Amino acid sequence: MSKTSVSNETESRLCLWVEPWGTDYWMRPGEEFTVVTDLEPEDSPFNVVVHAQGITVWVNSANDATVVDKNGSLVACGHQRPADLGW
């Protein structure tokens, strides 16, 4: 199993995108999520990109990925998505 954690150390809501699926997970200040795949660790299972729209974690495998919170609970796509995004 491979995993990488992402935490929001800003003072505003931040979007975590998981690619190549385009799923979005919105983090409140102080929240931490972990992206998990079923694959064994490899040299570079993830790439992390910080950009103006948030943070993107690219999963470098054909396997699916899940996102969990600090307690290990599954976080659904669209978690805490603001209603006023316009898309």
Checking if the pLDDT of 86 tops 70, the result is: no
Is residue 61 situated within a structural domain? yes
Any domain includes 13: yes
User: Would 76 be classed as within a structural domain?
Assistant: no
Contacts of 48 (CB under 8 A, 6+ apart): 4, 6, 55, 56, 57, 58
**What digits encode the pLDDT tens for the residues 16-65?**
999 999 999 999 999 999 999 887 777 678 889 988 889 999 998 767 89
Number of domains in the chain: 1
What pTM does this model have?
0.84
- Domain containing residue 40: 2-69
Assess if residue 86 is contained within a domain.
no
